[in-house]
A = this chain, B = another copy of it.
Amino acid sequence: MKVGIIGATGYTGEELLKCLARHGGVEVAFVSSEQRAGVSLKEVFPHLPAYADLTLCTTEESTRIDVDLVFTCLPAGESVKWGKRFLDKGSKLIDLGSDFRFRSADMYTKWYHIEHPHPELLPDAVYGLTEWHRDDIAHATIVGNPGCYPTSVLLPLLPFVAAGLVADAPIIIDAKSGVSGAGKKATDVTHYVSVNENVTPYKTGRTHRHVGEMEKELRAVGGKQTIVFTPHLVPLTRGMLSTIYVQLAEEKSRDDLFEVLANTYSAEPFVHILTDRMPDMRVAQNSNLCFISLQKVAEANCLILCSAIDNLGKGASTQAVQNMNVMLGFAETAGLL
């Protein structure tokens, strides 16, 4: 099987390459980059000797190469433009950008403030939160890979909302992300001295566009709650921890609450429940794993959920490979353990 990567020199492209080098079942047929076309991948990523023979091409050039599946790692509005070229040729598509996370073009516009270039493709797009949409993903030609924050929030939260256990009060989400989530571009925000010895809240309340993605999935399982979301930039390269506070709709014991998680995830290879402690960010680093735990605060009838993922792993590239495995018929864990 052949795959290609559009926008290969960013952090998510690099992680895809690392992961696919261990996969064994796919060949990377091309890697594209507008800014560095013509440069050997060996020069860009000397630490990935498996690809020493690949040279970056322009995305236009890449469209002349046939692949079974293409990964797009581009900003909103860009992924779909190039992706369509490959879809028209019969390739499957996994977008690590944000162009296929909504089926509604209006919702896309509401949160991304641009018109969707090809709204006619949206009805075919499946949301790639693998554990919740596995069957649809298996038959999909287009998968919108979830955002990092939504992945870290939905995996712990959906089981409880789907079970009707969450009251209609606002759901408070306080999340912490490593700097790789802010992308490779050098800005005042990503300057070492800005980040180091600092924690910075940003796009607080309902201003981060991932809020729409989260609420869309909540609605899909019957939840009506409003999300209040505060992401924080923390001084580390990769990792994501979400602390989620919900009001319980009814009295539930701690054991009952853990059983909700176990019922959903006990057979899942990548979602692990910790019963003795809250996860730290570390346990999920450099992996496709998601760790979840919970605490019930009886005095406040409150449930605290906490999850850890790697923002470039389960939050991006390794979840994309997990989806690829499902779409192309590989073992779901291929390249991921």
Q: List chain A positions with a Cβ less than 8 A from chain B.
A: 11, 21-22, 43, 46-47, 49-50, 169-170, 172, 174, 176, 178-180, 184, 186-188, 190-202, 204-206, 226, 228, 230, 232, 234-239, 241, 243, 245, 247, 269, 272, 274, 276, 278, 280-287, 289, 291, 295-297, 299-302, 304, 306, 337
Q: How far is the CB of A175 from chain B (nearest CB, A)?
A: 9
- Of B176, B180, B295, B300, which contacts A176 at CB under 8 A? B176
The answer to whether A200 and B281 have CB atoms under 8 Å apart is: yes
CB-based nearest B residue for A176:
B199
The answer to whether B196 and A193 have CB atoms under 8 Å apart is: no
The answer to whether B234 and A295 have CB atoms under 8 Å apart is: no
Q: Which residues of B contact A300 (CB under 8 A)?
A: 170, 206, 226, 228
Q: Which residues of B contact A304 (CB under 8 A)?
A: 204-205, 228, 230
Copies of this chain per assembly: 4
Complex Cα gap A293–B236 (Å): 25
The answer to whether B184 and A191 have CB atoms under 8 Å apart is: yes
Given A192-B237, A228-B302: A174 touches B46 (CB 8 Å cut-off):
no
CB-based nearest B residue for A200:
B280
- Of B201, B226, B236, B337, which contacts A196 at CB under 8 A? B236
Can you give 18 contacting A-B residue pairs, CB < 8 Å?
A47-B282, A47-B283, A50-B337, A174-B230, A176-B199, A179-B196, A184-B191, A186-B187, A191-B191, A193-B237, A196-B235, A197-B281, A199-B236, A200-B278, A201-B241, A201-B306, A226-B299, A245-B245
CB-based nearest B residue for A174:
B174
Complex Cα gap A192–B190 (Å): 6
Q: Which residues of B contact A198 (CB under 8 A)?
A: 236, 239, 280-282
Interface centre among A172, A176, A188, A286 (most CB of B within 10 A): A172
The answer to whether B236 and A197 have CB atoms under 8 Å apart is: yes
Q: Which residues of B contact A180 (CB under 8 A)?
A: 193
Q: Which residues of B contact A234 (CB under 8 A)?
A: 176, 199, 234-235
The answer to whether B199 and A241 have CB atoms under 8 Å apart is: yes
For the complex with contacts A198-B239, A201-B280, 15 further pairs of A-B residues with Cβ separation under 8 Å are A21-B337, A46-B274, A47-B285, A49-B289, A169-B247, A170-B302, A174-B230, A190-B193, A192-B237, A197-B238, A199-B241, A201-B278, A228-B245, A228-B304, A230-B306
Given A174-B174, A289-B47: A295 touches B204 (CB 8 Å cut-off):
yes
The answer to whether B237 and A196 have CB atoms under 8 Å apart is: yes
Q: How far is the CB of A20 from chain B (nearest CB, A)?
A: 12
Q: Which residues of B contact A283 (CB under 8 A)?
A: 46-47
